[in-house]
């Protein structure tokens, strides 16, 4: 079956702010890409898993680890330039980690094609990494430091 994304202009990559885990960051930066492509963005009430919100001693509103640029820094000519090691949530989209379909930004023909597919990436790596990431976040939040030190803290504890 045709890959629905080949007939789309990467709407999802241009629309979403991409939240990532330190595992995604490590996978990408291990390819020689400097980890300054991420930042902490403000959590909104409903959009994020509360267990991934990081506290900072110098910023009471906390933050979510995510890609800095929007549309995504890694999107060129409507194609993902890091496809093989893109964040796991990107690889699965529009399927959620629970294998349900959420094709909100997909063009209608793509939505129809996706409805004929099932998630072809096993959910377990996503769930496993997310669970490990939440443990690291919890460790940081027990004794939050300055925002500038947080990424290093997360990456030091992230083992792929």
Residues within the interface to ligand SF4 (CB under 6 A): 4-5, 8, 10-13, 18, 72, 74-75, 80, 82, 86-87, 90, 93-94, 103, 105-106, 110
**Distance of closest approach, residue 94 Cβ to ligand SF4, in angstroms:** 5
Would you say 73 or 153 has its CB closer to ligand SF4? 73
Would you say 43 or 87 has its CB closer to ligand SF4? 87
Would you say 96 or 141 has its CB closer to ligand SF4? 96
**Distance of closest approach, residue 140 Cβ to ligand SF4, in angstroms:** 24
DSSP 6: G
Would you say 78 or 141 has its CB closer to ligand SF4? 78
Question: Is residue 11 within 8 Å of 141, Cβ to Cβ?
Answer: no
Whole-angstrom distance, CA of residue 150 vs CA of residue 156: 10
Tally DSSP H helices, then E strands, for the chain: 6, 5
**Distance of closest approach, residue 98 Cβ to ligand SF4, in angstroms:** 17
Query: Strands, E, within the chain: which ranges?
Result: 38-41, 54-56, 59-67, 75-76, 79-80
**Distance of closest approach, residue 28 Cβ to ligand SF4, in angstroms:** 8
CA dist 28 → 22, 33, 39, 140, 144 (Å): 10, 6, 14, 22, 25
């Amino acid at each position: 079956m045709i890959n629905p994304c080949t007939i789309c202009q990467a709407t999802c990559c241009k629309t979403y702010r991409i939240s990532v885990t330190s595992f995604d960051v490590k996978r990408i930066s291990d390819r020689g890409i400097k980890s300054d492509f991420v930042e902490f963005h403000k959590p909104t009430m409903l959009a994020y898993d509360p267990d991934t919100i990081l506290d900072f001693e110098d910023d009471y509103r906390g933050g979510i680890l995510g890609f800095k640029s929007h549309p995504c820094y890694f999107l060129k000519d409507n194609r993902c330039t890091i496809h093989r090691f893109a964040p796991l949530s990107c690889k699965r989209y529009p399927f959620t980690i629970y294998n349900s379909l959420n094709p909100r930004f997909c063009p209608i023909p793509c939505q129809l094609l996706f409805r004929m597919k099932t998630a072809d990436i096993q959910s377990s790596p996503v769930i496993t990494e997310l669970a490990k990431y939440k443990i690291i976040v919890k460790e940081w939040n027990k004794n939050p430091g300055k925002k500038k030190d947080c990424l290093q803290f997360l990456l030091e504890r992230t083992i792929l």
